[in-house]
Structure 1
Amino acid sequence: MADDRPVTATPAGEHWSTHARDWTDVQERTIHPAWLAVLNELTPAPGEPVLDLGCGAGGFTRLAARRGVKVSGLDASATLAGIARTRTPAGDFRAGDMNRIPFPDAEFFAVTAFNSLHFAQDPARAVEEAIRVARPGGHITIAAWGPLTDCDALAYFLDLGGLMPSTPHRPGDSPDLTDPTVVHRLLSQAGLTVAAARAVDCPWRYPDLKTALRGLLSTGPAAIAIAHAGLAEVRETVTESISPYRRLDGSYLLHNTCFTITATLA
């Protein structure tokens, strides 16, 4: 049954709100090829309801709405959810926690999560919640960067992580959701019929260093790193991380792979 307690933005959402406009203008579009791949795979009919978990500024939902899909979104950041609402006024966008999805049971034809499941406090619980709000015969699609060894952005991810405060870690607490086999197993263990992972090329392109830094410093993890290590150190570190991908014209191109996995409810 749905949890009817009030749902608001989460503390983690505050980090994603810090540079929400930079995220919307620059970094969000890096996942656009995966949005298209998923939308073309699911092929929801006009009027079908789709929920995007970790919807951010609503890029995927806006794309789906243009095809007549009835869209909803949930994000930890009230600021990003507000931008999504402005971009697609007909959609239902809310701030909250994907471990406690504030939508009714059996509501959606499909539930999607683009690079968001790994931010859930309990990914298995988030999958359970996605199953609850999906219709029988509906779909759940997870997309994520990785395997990171196939991503030029690996140095950025690792270097940014090195500037964040250390947290206690217990073995087994955090499944590696950049590994398609781990995501496949997580969905299978939840009782879903899971299709094979599909790889999607999602290059990161920036016309210059200023734009690259706007995008790469707009993420929630970057905000945490800046609060911990300071803006100057984070800017310097990120600039060095992406320096091998600077082209002769001053632009940057990082070749990255995203995978998508779609599961179906019985």
Structure 2
Amino acid sequence: MSIEEEDAATGQITADAARVYEDFFVPALFGQFAPWLVEAAGLREGDRALDVATGTGVVARAALERGARVTAVDINEGMLSVARDLAPEATFRVAAAEDLPFEDGSFDAVTCQFALMFFEDRVRALREMKRVCRPGGHVAVSVFAPWQESPGYRDLIPLLSEVMGPPAGEALKAPFVLGGDGVLAGLLSEAGLAGAEIRRKTGQVRHASLDAWLDTEIGGWTLAGAATPRIMQTLKAAAPDRLGRYRNDDGTLCFESPAIFAVAEV
């Protein structure tokens, strides 16, 4: 596995990719889920909120809009540099989810959007989220449903495997590995957060065109360094035949993106 593919499997991205992520991935996909997650966490005005693996801060910004006092952490300095620019009123720190630098019970709610799958020790990370949340507060986590249930990725992943090699296709499966029946609930239970309420939410992936989808999917994710111009040309040449079913009459693209939300009271 190349360095780029290892990065993809662990969620590491460059600062340039972080900007692509914020400019394109957030409006295309992640932005719509953030308000749902902070609502599920029960955040109210004045609450102390912690967002774990905040990325470019999309959930942190949604929490700020609800009047919360927001702290957010991530291990990616590239991501945090973008987050700080967009939400200077929040506090952003470099920290791993498995070792949160806060006292017990420091927050009224802890959120983690589409990041649990990338942690080195998922159960330890969830235990840390529980530890820093006050008794009676909530830990709210979201993960994607299996990739086979997400129409666009069901077709893109095999294409990527053919063009870039099987490790690249496997890397693109990484965001979906916790979507199986009972997987998330099992992790929460092992971390001492049994009895979490599990909800399914379905968003929409939206892009201006097939080319824009590929540019965002590759350039805003962890395979950006491995995608040479020739590879991108090959992917885009194959896209109308392999991915054209998701294109609308006006050339825009959309397909469903199912997700799983879990909310546990501490």
* TM-score for both structures, normalised by structure 2: 0.81
Equivalent position of 2:210 in the other structure: 209
Contact 1:98 1:126 in 2 (8 A): yes
C-alpha separation between the residues in 2 aligned to 1:197 and 1:231? 42
Instruction: Say if 1:75 and 1:161 are closer, same or farther in 2 by CA, change over 3 A.
Output: farther
Identity of aligned residues (%): 26
Contact 2:38 2:111 in 1 (8 A): no
Equivalent position of 1:218 in the other structure: 219
Equivalent position of 1:246 in the other structure: 247
Q: 1:28 aligns with which of 17, 26, 29?
A: 26
C-alpha separation between the residues in 1 aligned to 2:146 and 2:70? 29
Amino acid at match of 2:25: Q
Contact 2:41 2:110 in 1 (8 A): no
Aligned-pair Cα RMSD in Å: 2.8
Equivalent position of 1:107 in the other structure: 106
C-alpha separation between the residues in 2 aligned to 1:194 and 1:58? 28
Task: Please state whether the residue corresponding to 2:80 is helix, strand or coil.
Answer: helix
Task: Please state whether the residue corresponding to 1:144 is helix, strand or coil.
Answer: strand
Amino acid at match of 1:24: E
Ranges in structure 2 where 5+ consecutive residues have no aligned partner: 1-6, 169-175
Task: Please state whether the residue corresponding to 1:217 is helix, strand or coil.
Answer: helix
C-alpha separation between the residues in 1 aligned to 2:233 and 2:142? 28
Instruction: Say if 1:246 and 1:84 are closer, same or farther in 2 by CA, change over 3 A.
Output: same
Q: How many residue pairs get matched?
A: 247
Task: Please state whether the residue corresponding to 2:98 is helix, strand or coil.
Answer: coil
CA shift at 1:213, angstroms? 2.8
C-alpha separation between the residues in 1 aligned to 2:161 and 2:77? 24
Instruction: Say if 1:263 and 1:232 are closer, same or farther in 2 by CA, change over 3 A.
Output: farther
Amino acid at match of 1:21: R
Instruction: Say if 1:264 and 1:161 are closer, same or farther in 2 by CA, change over 3 A.
Output: farther
Instruction: Say if 1:38 and 1:232 are closer, same or farther in 2 by CA, change over 3 A.
Output: same
C-alpha separation between the residues in 1 aligned to 2:166 and 2:124? 26
CA shift at 1:161, angstroms? 6.2
Q: Any residues of structure 2 matched to 1:112-127 within 5 Å, and which?
A: 112-127=111-126
C-alpha separation between the residues in 2 aligned to 1:159 and 1:104? 46
Ranges in structure 1 where 5+ consecutive residues have no aligned partner: 1-10, 168-174
Equivalent position of 1:177 in the other structure: 178
Contact 1:35 1:60 in 2 (8 A): yes
Instruction: Say if 1:40 and 1:100 are closer, same or farther in 2 by CA, change over 3 A.
Output: same
C-alpha separation between the residues in 2 aligned to 1:71 and 1:178? 28
Equivalent position of 1:260 in the other structure: 261
Contact 1:82 1:93 in 2 (8 A): no
Instruction: Say if 1:116 and 1:161 are closer, same or farther in 2 by CA, change over 3 A.
Output: farther
Contact 1:109 1:138 in 2 (8 A): yes
C-alpha separation between the residues in 1 aligned to 2:127 and 2:49? 17
Equivalent position of 1:42 in the other structure: 41
Instruction: Say if 1:180 and 1:135 are closer, same or farther in 2 by CA, change over 3 A.
Output: farther
Equivalent position of 1:15 in the other structure: 13
CA shift at 1:158, angstroms? 5.0
Instruction: Say if 1:201 and 1:67 are closer, same or farther in 2 by CA, change over 3 A.
Output: same
